[in-house]
Amino acid sequence: MIDQVNASRQLNRSTAVGALSRIVSLDGVWLTLAAVLLYWWRLGMLPLRDWDEGTIAAVARSMAVSGDWIYPTLYGDAYLNKPPLVEWLMATGYLGGVSEWTSRLLPALVSALAIPLLYWVGREVFQQRRPALLSAGVFLTLLPVVRHGRLAMRDGVAVTLFLLLLLWGLKARKRPAYALGVGVCLGLIALTKGILVILLGVIALVFFAIQFFAIQTVGLGRQSASHWLLRNPYLWLGLGLGSLPVLLWYGAQLLRYGNVYWQGHFVSQSFERVTSAIEDHQQQPWYYLLEMLKYGFPWLMFWPGGVCLAWRQRNRPWGQLVLVGTAIYLGAISLMGTKLPWYIMPLYPFVALAIGAYLHHAWEKSPRWAIGLLALISVVALGGGVYLGVADQQPTLIAIGIVLGMSAGWTGLQLWRRRARWCLTLMAGLYLTLLLLMGSDFWLWELNEAYAVKPVAAMVKQHVPPEAEVVTTFSYGRPSLNFYCDRNIPTLSGQPLLDRWQDNLYVLAEVHHLDTLPPYHEIGRTDDMVLVQPMIQ
């Protein structure tokens, strides 16, 4: 009889574990589908953006055309800026033709996988389903994460690889072979963002070291603790496997270019970005906090509470990960000399985990202090969306304002009535808002900072022979214009342009600069730029 009871209990336990495993698997599937839909939705609708998109796409196209994937080039010159993993992804996409869609296709897909990966990392550190789901939902609906993840850039890919590294490291506590993936991911990060691997590697090392000492403290025994981290042989095997392609690729560059590569890649594009501001990208230490304030709402209002909760639960893995990741990464990028908006991307997984933990903690407590902020967001979204939509005759802006405003307002009403699951309303509303935004012309608002490049590129390709030289009087070079023209168009104005006026070159001039030029032939024009050729005296 006792044996039958024990067998029944064991069967029930096995059934429950199996059901839980199926639920977790379904969570990952739905999160992946939701992320891929959001990241791929009308992805190729807008032109490539300056700066990184245009540059990386040109390097990848050169790889696809020449077949040389080892020595990247940019319009015939050696490309020394970054390692080539993202270019390899894009060049693979170009097997289906060169377009905005194929440029962003594979980087966006890899970036989208960060959403289910954050959920699985949350399952490991929370040991609960709900806070992991909430964290993934927050990460899915953070505007900066979605925007930069959709671009043909490196940062979203690096975040995905870092989360995969954390997941494998966490799973190695029970299955040591998973540590193999930690070293492989470090190598892939090095091939994606170069020097960033040092910072992310330090975060992982500190977090795993805390976990290691925690295992020893609770007395699980030396044998259990030895199966992972620095004592795990799979970790060292993975480091060897991950380092091999990195060493081979960097070795090939150094053998071909020598000190030029060392100075151009390691010194100019890596170390100097840390110690000084290059290309006038100098900002105050609190720059990234302001970036979060601008683009992180409404979720950001729960971030301070999540960080405080992480401090109170710093003896738990999730609290340790949030505190270690936030302190090291935010501190490092805040002190860097060069500051660019997308450098903040690897911080957002820690932000999402902190907010997800807070939402789980406040699931049924209904933080009524948030009602006023949500009401303000609702009014601003409704009023601003309708006003801008009517003024610019853009129905999409009206729809975005209405969906966002109603979502925030309904969430505030649920908080007022002390309804549980209030945050799911906000999450669903933000997802629909982002779908509308990503399907519009507004998600890549940087395109409005200068003239439209595709009409200008079409004019250049129509009228200028491939071997001719083209310069522009515009104030800075446009990598996106270079990509669509398939040639480098440098800036040249003032006296240097006048000194070369008798040369056989073509000039892309702004309309308001025409009066300052010597005699010329007008060849073609768009709304913003005029293509001219000097009139030879």
The CA-based angle 466-253-201, given to 5 degrees, is: 120
Q: What is the mean pLDDT of residues 360-368?
A: 84
Confidence of residue 319 (pLDDT cuts 50, 70, 90): very high
pLDDT higher than threshold 70 for residue 220: no
> What is residue 226's predicted lDDT score, i.e. its pLDDT?
46
* d(C-alpha 106, C-alpha 40), whole Å: 10
pLDDT digits (tens, 9 = 90+) for 511-526: 888 888 888 899 999 9
* d(C-alpha 269, C-alpha 357), whole Å: 37
pLDDT higher than threshold 80 for residue 274: no
Closest CA to 204 of 91, 123, 321: 321
The CA-based angle 370-376-381, given to 5 degrees, is: 125
pLDDT higher than threshold 70 for residue 8: no
* d(C-alpha 114, C-alpha 125), whole Å: 16
Pairing of strands 505-510, 469-472: parallel
pLDDT higher than threshold 70 for residue 266: yes
User: Percent of the chain beyond pLDDT 90?
Assistant: 62
pLDDT higher than threshold 70 for residue 92: yes
Stated pTM of the model: 0.91
Confidence of residue 267 (pLDDT cuts 50, 70, 90): confident
Mean pLDDT, all residues of the chain: 88
pLDDT higher than threshold 80 for residue 392: no
Peptide bond into 298 cis (omega under 30): yes
* d(C-alpha 310, C-alpha 356), whole Å: 11
* d(C-alpha 207, C-alpha 185), whole Å: 16
> What is residue 227's predicted lDDT score, i.e. its pLDDT?
47
Q: What is the mean pLDDT of residues 307-326?
A: 95
Closest CA to 180 of 125, 188, 223: 188
Closest CA to 56 of 479, 396, 442, 471: 479
> What is residue 223's predicted lDDT score, i.e. its pLDDT?
46
Confidence of residue 265 (pLDDT cuts 50, 70, 90): confident
The CA-based angle 177-139-323, given to 5 degrees, is: 70
In residues, how long is the chain? 537
Q: What is the mean pLDDT of residues 43-62?
A: 94
Confidence of residue 485 (pLDDT cuts 50, 70, 90): very high
> What is residue 2's predicted lDDT score, i.e. its pLDDT?
53
pLDDT digits (tens, 9 = 90+) for 433-465: 999 999 998 999 988 888 999 999 999 999 999
Q: What is the mean pLDDT of residues 85-110?
A: 95
pLDDT digits (tens, 9 = 90+) for 146-155: 999 999 999 9
Strand, helix or coil at 533? strand
Confidence of residue 402 (pLDDT cuts 50, 70, 90): very high
pLDDT higher than threshold 50 for residue 20: no
pLDDT higher than threshold 70 for residue 288: yes
pLDDT higher than threshold 80 for residue 209: yes
Q: What is the mean pLDDT of residues 217-231?
A: 54
> What is residue 17's predicted lDDT score, i.e. its pLDDT?
46
> What is residue 403's predicted lDDT score, i.e. its pLDDT?
93
> What is residue 528's predicted lDDT score, i.e. its pLDDT?
86
> What is residue 229's predicted lDDT score, i.e. its pLDDT?
61
Contact 360, 313 (CB under 8 A): no
Q: What is the mean pLDDT of residues 492-497?
A: 88
Residue bearing the bigger pLDDT, 38 or 21: 38
* d(C-alpha 456, C-alpha 461), whole Å: 9
* d(C-alpha 54, C-alpha 153), whole Å: 10
Find the largest Cα–Cα distance for the chain: 110
163 sits in which H/E element: helix 155-171
Closest CA to 272 of 215, 204, 205, 337: 337
> What is residue 225's predicted lDDT score, i.e. its pLDDT?
47
> What is residue 176's predicted lDDT score, i.e. its pLDDT?
87
Q: What is the CA radius of gyration of the chain?
A: 26
Residue bearing the bigger pLDDT, 340 or 119: 119
User: Percent of the chain beyond pLDDT 70?
Assistant: 90
pLDDT digits (tens, 9 = 90+) for 154-191: 999 999 999 999 999 999 888 889 999 999 999 999 99
